[in-house]
Amino acid sequence: MELNLDWSLLTPEYILAGGAGMVVLLDLFWGRLRKDQLAYVAAAVALASALTALIWVNDDTNFANLIDIDNYTALFRVFFGLIGVFACLASARFVKDRLLHAGEYYGLILLSVLGANLMAAASELLTAYISLELLSFSLYVLTSYAKFDLRSNEGGLKYMLLGAFSSAIFLYGIGMIYGVSGSTRFSEIAASLSGDTAGFDMAMFLGLVLIIAGLGFKVAAVPFHMWTPDAYEGAPLPITALISALGKAAGFALFLKLFGQAFIPLVDDWRVFIAVLSAMTMALGNLVAIQQRNIKRLLAYSSIGQVGFLMMGIAALTPENADAASALVLHLVGYVISNLAVFVAIIIYYNWTGKEEISDFAGAAERAPYLALALSIGFFSLSGMPLFAGFATKFILFQAAAEQGLLWLSSIAVFFSFVSLYYYLIVIKEMYLGKPAEPTRFPTPWLEYGALTLLVAGVFLIGLYPQPVFDIVEEGAVAMMAVAEAAGTVTAPP
């Protein structure tokens, strides 16, 4: 088999790796450079990587039969790069005031984006595993980066220990699937599993279960969610945002690709299993979130609930078309934008007050009206209220699930969307009806407010006019599903 060794195909990843080394060296040798200036350098690197990825839009090739370069990869390269931009900008003042070793901090953020890129691009299991570990190890270190904060140390330790356990499970699942199919390439696995599997049903089923468990940990699906609340609460706030946005998005980019390509011939075997996990995740995440009093723990359980919604897209996958895949990626984009808007607003508030309890947001609308408005918009979008991104993306996702015979799951999702509105309204009530501890107004951080404004605009763009974003997402989903078609296991999408 002839390998395509065109190294230029990996240019966005070179930029991220080189940029990570550059910010570390700048911090080491150029002491006069302020910590917040390093944030802007890192943000520029992430943006350059995202823009460079646009060169390969509409290309359909691969690197060494390991990494796909197509519209699906381009979509997530741009998406992850932009997440990195906002993570760096949101970190600027936080790191300057509260953390040491800024160069390593921003270098690890760029490496996490690099790992996420390769997870979305991987076309075989070992490449996906190594990319997953690059992302995971970067997030383990960043979670415990506030080394003088015991909560950060505890959260990072729990995250790392449970992460190592889940990685072993995932790797064992890879071994089982390799033993069944004789390959680690997604297309070859699909071709093997589309034939007669009667002789190795048990091994195949065990491999699937282990891979679902390993990926379930990475995306915080129930019952593999145990690390999430402590890691979210202990991590520095911008890293909590990074885990919630980049960690979830990369996990589902791989989850979708793996089950939309390699395991799509077995869809009837794993659909109900994924659907039940989805329902359990929605239920636990949203019900336990009601009891939370810390804003980071509330968002941890909220994100678990959102994972339940996203898993509906996996359960609704079909060999015939890419509708469910498109719906999942669209909701993922809407969720990440809304979630980043919420986190950026909370980071700005924390930079002023140093407080993160829900009761500490009392009277925030009097002290920072725009901040309270942006935070409310983000919450309304996450709950799926009309006019906001969450409504449009959830509607399309729930419809895709219902069309595949999962109306019961869509009904559960609608119910828990209403439940989520309740605990978001608790925070909004504090901001608008609570009495502020101090009557003074907060100053205006223009850069952070600019980033927040872009995110709020994205929430309304997707909520009011989702078609352009949906078209882009659909091109990526069709490109991803085309691999299974080329393997001869499915028919072409209509």
Q: 20-24, 202-206, 453-457, 482-486: lowest mean pLDDT where?
A: 482-486
Residue 195 has pLDDT above 90, yes or no: no
**pLDDT digit string, tens, across residues 398-422:** 999 999 889 999 999 999 999 999 9
Mean pLDDT confidence for 46-63: 91
Q: What is the pLDDT of residue 236?
A: 93
Q: What is the pLDDT of residue 492?
A: 39
Q: What is the pLDDT of residue 1?
A: 60
Q: What is the pLDDT of residue 494?
A: 38
Angle between helices 248-257 and 71-98 (to 10 degrees): 160
Q: How far apart are CA 171 and CA 175, in angstroms?
A: 6
Mean pLDDT confidence for 331-360: 92
Q: What is the pLDDT of residue 491?
A: 43
Q: How confident is the model at residue 99 (pLDDT cuts 50, 70, 90)?
A: confident
**pLDDT digit string, tens, across residues 123-147:** 999 999 999 999 999 999 999 998 8
Which tokens hold the place of 175?
């071994």
Vertex 306 angle, CA 304 and 311, to 5°: 95
**pLDDT digit string, tens, across residues 449-488:** 999 999 999 999 999 999 999 999 988 888 888 766 655 5
Q: Is the peptide bond before 223 cis (omega within 30 degrees of 0)?
A: yes
Residue 182 has pLDDT above 90, yes or no: no
**pLDDT digit string, tens, across residues 289-334:** 999 999 999 999 999 999 999 999 999 998 877 788 999 999 999 9
Please state, rounded to an integer, the average pLDDT across all residues of the chain. Answer: 90
The answer to whether residues 358 and 294 touch, using CB atoms and an 8 Å cutoff, is yes
Which tokens hold the place of 137?
């190890």
Q: Give percent above pLDDT 90 in the chain.
A: 66
Residue 35 has pLDDT above 80, yes or no: no
Q: How far apart are CA 218 and CA 230, in angstroms?
A: 15
